[in-house]
Structure 1
Amino acid sequence: MLILDELPFRHVEGEGFMRFMRVVCPRWVEIPSRRAVARDCFSLYVKEKAQLKSALEGQRVCLTTDTWTSLQNLNYMCLTAHFVDSDWKLHKRILNFCLVENHKGETLGKAVEMCMLGWGISKVLTVTVDNASSNNLLIDFLRRKTKNRVGTILQHEFLHVRCCAHILNLIVCEDLKEMDDSICKVRNAVRYVRSSPSRMKIFQQCVEKEGIKCKSVVCLDVATRWNSTYMMLDGAEKFQKAFERLEEDDMNFLSTFRKGGSDKGGKDRWKHLGPPDMDDWDRVRVFVKFLKLFYNATLRFSGSLHVTANVFFLELILLQNAISQMCEKGDNSILSNMAAGMKRKFEKYWGNFDNSNMLLYVAVVLDPRYKLKFVKFWVGTCYEANKGKELLKKIKDALTRLHD
């Protein structure tokens, strides 16, 4: 119970827990102390670790790393292993969650190497990392230290996998920095509604008057996470009529925005943009439709309970086609400019095949639903002739060398 519910060890010494146990089990007089519970939890940890180490023995695993800095300015790294057991079941297990001195590549590489040694892992197929320069050094360190070990495939040529979800995040975030006024207006309207219980109550009354049956509530986004901006716009768009009625029912709503009306630039201008009008809501609907493609692709890329390597190429093609179609549409200049910026960044991250891991394409070829013909068709459709030939040559070469 303590582990599942993430309760502190002192929970067993609380008066409420003791009363509860006296009711459900009167015969249990001596409830263990926090120290006894801590010892039991550690014994369980040792037992589970031994079982996992036994399960990993001889397995070829794929590793993923995640790093971040806490509010206390402490650096953390999480290392996760993905492997298929003898019954062909995919498993995901966190191997290490630890403090690291810094986020330098060699520091992280040493931490990963020590973890591999501790778990007895010798066969690593890939290491998936965020698209950061420090992670290039991490991969170089691991490749240098482990490329000659028994069971290594082609001296770790395919070790480095750049996280597709992180690359999508970079593509969208860089483009949303040039934030459109319409998004700011919606953000300010949502911020106003959520700023106090009384304002939220008035807004809920507007929702009822307009007969909106949506059970969700408007949410404010986080500046550093574009997916939260998508969810904010997607949620707010459903309450368009309620926001329009709020202009009539709450006089403070309009006056809040008018306070900054004379400011032509700077931070204050963004704070007082609004409220959104009909044109703004039309733009928001277009934004939501466009961002939904990236949001759904990110969810599919981020799946950990099923294999995702074989869906990479298909998702890449779908996104590339969607961006190209948006660029060609001249009826919305903002969307066209946004799509053009994303297309340039798309080419930057995925246009250079030297930075692509051919195992992701090999996985598509080995998928019986797609095979090499599927790849040939879409490569011929989406790439220039010379570029397409270059990619197909790399894929076939990788297949041949892996087979040999």
Structure 2
Amino acid sequence: MSQQGGGASTPYVSDQSSNPRDSSEMIATSRKRKNMKARSDVWEHYTKFVNEEGEQKARCRYCEKEFHSDPRRNGTSALKTHIASCKKFPPNINTKQTQLNYQPIKGQEGDGSGTLTTWKFDQEAIRNALARMVIVDELPFKFVENEGFRDLMSTACPRFRIPSRSKITRDCFKFFLDERLKLKKIFKQSSQMICLTTDTWSSLQRINYMVLTAHYIDNDWKLHKKIINFCQISSHKGEAIGKAVEKCLLEWGIDKVFTITVDNASSNDVAVGYLRRRINNWGSSVLQGKYLHMRCIAHIINLVVCDGLKEVGISVDRVRAAVKYVRGSPARLKLFKECVEVERIQSKSSLCLDVSTRWNSTYLMLNAAEKFEKAFERFDDQDPFFGSELDSGDVDGIRKPDHEDWENVRRMATLLQNFYELTIRVSGSLYVTSNTLFHEISEVECLLKQWSESDAYKLGMMVRRMKEKYDKYWGDIEKMNKLIYIAVVLDPRNKMDFVKFALIDIYIWG
């Protein structure tokens, strides 16, 4: 066998045949790779060494703490964790010296205006700001574990230790508890009366919910809106609603209630009556709660408009069917856009469907559709199924809209625009509306009186029906909450003269 190897390799083959174990060790030694330089950046902060027991160790260059560093048994996670919390690591040393920081003024980031502030790294402050961001922007808790957010924080603030989703959940709940204590303190120390608004509804799972909102003016004369309760209730009965509101007021320590604004459901009359008795027992009501109940003006407007739409509903149904047909497929919508271009209709509006239970969405649909009357006529010429499919509808009277339908829709859109803008004005929650309610009610009266004399028969019937619904709630001066008039008198722009003039115009001359 020694002769088959040939030349200088003969002694090596001879040793292999005599001692296989020694030869394998020699092969492994000859093929052993050279020691590579550590690739992790964490090794910049550690010194490698071998102790007396032959174990590979790493010593922190700042606090002299030792860690196992065998590359086959130990990774670098523990080393990274330690360096992030090492108290002697220079970036982690909490010095009293602050840094100058330029902060742009809120709402004016683009014009270069701002102020100089001092800044110092604070782990807890950043965590609180992160919890507030999750709450305000309605982000999921797992957002803090997303790769993009972690890359951003590692670049913007490497010293910040990003919490896990469970920790940020606890931070958000703690943030809620802290804010609740602050708000309780405000309610307790403030001498201002509080106005409440509440509403109830049922989910698709047949679960009843109630929300309670508090409106108050602080010592700096700033208006605030705070949702103080969102809970399940047993039913929509008045007594159940009243007890739920009472329980919430007791939990918050609120006893100075000025008004409660609710919609016109009969159950709310029972709920307000129950709360009036309880608040009177607390001894903090105004005039024994005589004017505690405030009817929601936006809800009354909704009832007035919905009642009037029933008179000219057939024209609305025809336009709705036409819009639904066009939006039924991408090909139809593309053809309709081509018709709009040919007719040179300069409008940025787009066709939209309404929700039958929300009249404001019906107004938006009609307001957008009436601008494309000529486009619908051209679309009827180019789509042979448009007229035939609408004429063969399952509902009686549904067909493609004609010129009379478009005229009715155009008048309705003009009328409903006034109610739409009025609803937006009275629904504001960041500014005071009590001093303008009587003015808005008077404007509705004048508007209905003007449109009731319209030459269009159907439109006149619609307005007269709306006037009947208006008189049900605002036709009798004795049934209205007198606080509406007091708010106008206290407004220096109106005072008593305007109230006298408006009352005479509505209830005497009208």
TM-score of the two chains, using structure 2 as the length reference: 0.70
Q: 1:235 aligns with which of 368, 373, 385?
A: 368
Partner of 1:35: 166
> Aligned partners of 2:223 and 2:264: how far apart in 1?
25
CA RMSD in angstroms, aligned pairs only: 1.9
Q: Deviation at 1:33? A: 1.7
Q: Deviation at 1:156? A: 0.9
Aligned length: 376
Q: Could you tell me which amino acid in structure 2 is paired with residue 322 of structure 1?
A: L
User: Which deviates more, 220-229 or 195-204?
Assistant: 195-204
Partner of 1:49: 180
Matched, 1:351 2:484: no
Q: Could you tell me which amino acid in structure 2 is paired with residue 2 of structure 1?
A: V
Matching of residues 364-375 of structure 1 within 5 Å: 364-375=488-499
Structure 2 counterpart SS, 1:268: coil
Partner of 1:313: 438
Q: Could you tell me which amino acid in structure 2 is paired with residue 169 of structure 1?
A: N
Matching of residues 164-183 of structure 1 within 5 Å: 164-183=297-316
Q: Deviation at 1:148? A: 3.2
Matched, 1:11 2:143: yes
Matching of residues 272-291 of structure 1 within 5 Å: 273-291=398-416
Q: Deviation at 1:17? A: 4.4
Structure 1 counterpart SS, 2:135: coil
Matching of residues 62-101 of structure 1 within 5 Å: 62-101=195-234
Partner of 1:259: 392
Q: Is the Cα–Cα contact under 8 Å of residues 144 and 164 in structure 2 kept in the other structure?
A: yes
Using a 3 Å threshold, how does the CA distance of structure 1 residues 277 and 42 change in structure 2: closer, same or farther?
Answer: same
Partner of 2:352: 219
Q: Could you tell me which amino acid in structure 1 is paired with residue 403 of structure 2?
A: M
Q: Deviation at 1:20? A: 5.2
Q: Which has the higher contact order (CA 8 A, sep 6+)?
A: 1
Structure 1 counterpart SS, 2:291: coil
Q: 1:292 aligns with which of 408, 411, 417?
A: 417
Matching of residues 144-223 of structure 1 within 5 Å: 144-223=277-356
Q: Could you tell me which amino acid in structure 2 is paired with residue 373 of structure 1?
A: D
Residue by residue over 1:191-222, the C-alpha shift from the partner in whole angstroms, topping out at 9 and shown as x without a partner, is 11111222111111112222222222111111
Q: Deviation at 1:287? A: 0.6
Q: Deviation at 1:227? A: 0.9
> Aligned partners of 1:284 and 1:175: how far apart in 2?
13
Matched, 1:134 2:271: no
Q: Could you tell me which amino acid in structure 1 is paired with residue 410 of structure 2?
A: R
Q: 1:302 aligns with which of 422, 427, 443?
A: 427
Q: Could you tell me which amino acid in structure 2 is paired with residue 367 of structure 1?
A: D
Q: Deviation at 1:185? A: 1.3
Q: Is the Cα–Cα contact under 8 Å of residues 148 and 155 in structure 1 kept in the other structure?
A: no
Q: Deviation at 1:339? A: 1.0
Residue by residue over 1:169-204, the C-alpha shift from the partner in whole angstroms, topping out at 9 and shown as x without a partner, is 111112323443221111111111111222111111
Matching of residues 355-394 of structure 1 within 5 Å: 355-384=479-508
Q: Could you tell me which amino acid in structure 2 is paired with residue 11 of structure 1?
A: F
> Aligned partners of 1:31 and 1:124: how far apart in 2?
44
Q: Is the Cα–Cα contact under 8 Å of residues 13 and 34 in structure 1 kept in the other structure?
A: yes
Using a 3 Å threshold, how does the CA distance of structure 1 residues 195 and 34 change in structure 2: closer, same or farther?
Answer: same
Q: Deviation at 1:323? A: 1.0
Residue by residue over 1:362-400, the C-alpha shift from the partner in whole angstroms, topping out at 9 and shown as x without a partner, is 111111111111111122222237xx9xxxxxxxxxxxx
User: Which deviates more, 129-138 or 148-157?
Assistant: 148-157
Residue by residue over 1:269-311, the C-alpha shift from the partner in whole angstroms, topping out at 9 and shown as x without a partner, is 25xx232222221111111111122212211211111111111
Q: Deviation at 1:353? A: 3.1
User: Which deviates more, 203-212 or 226-235?
Assistant: 203-212
Partner of 1:399: none
> Aligned partners of 1:194 and 1:55: how far apart in 2?
52
Structure 2 counterpart SS, 1:230: helix
Partner of 1:391: none
> Aligned partners of 1:13 and 1:99: how far apart in 2?
32
> Aligned partners of 2:415 and 2:328: how far apart in 1?
29
The percent of aligned pairs where both chains have the same amino acid is: 52
> Aligned partners of 1:259 and 1:351: how far apart in 2?
44
Using a 3 Å threshold, how does the CA distance of structure 1 residues 254 and 3 change in structure 2: closer, same or farther?
Answer: same
Q: Is the Cα–Cα contact under 8 Å of residues 229 and 248 in structure 2 kept in the other structure?
A: yes
Q: Could you tell me which amino acid in structure 1 is paired with residue 315 of structure 2?
A: S
Q: Deviation at 1:245? A: 1.5
Computing the radius of gyration over CA atoms, which structure comes out larger, 1 or 2? 2
> Aligned partners of 1:68 and 1:43: how far apart in 2?
29
Q: Deviation at 1:19? A: 5.1
Q: Could you tell me which amino acid in structure 2 is paired with residue 12 of structure 1?
A: V
> Aligned partners of 2:312 and 2:203: how far apart in 1?
27
Structure 2 counterpart SS, 1:171: helix
> Aligned partners of 1:305 and 1:369: how far apart in 2?
20
Q: Deviation at 1:258? A: 3.1
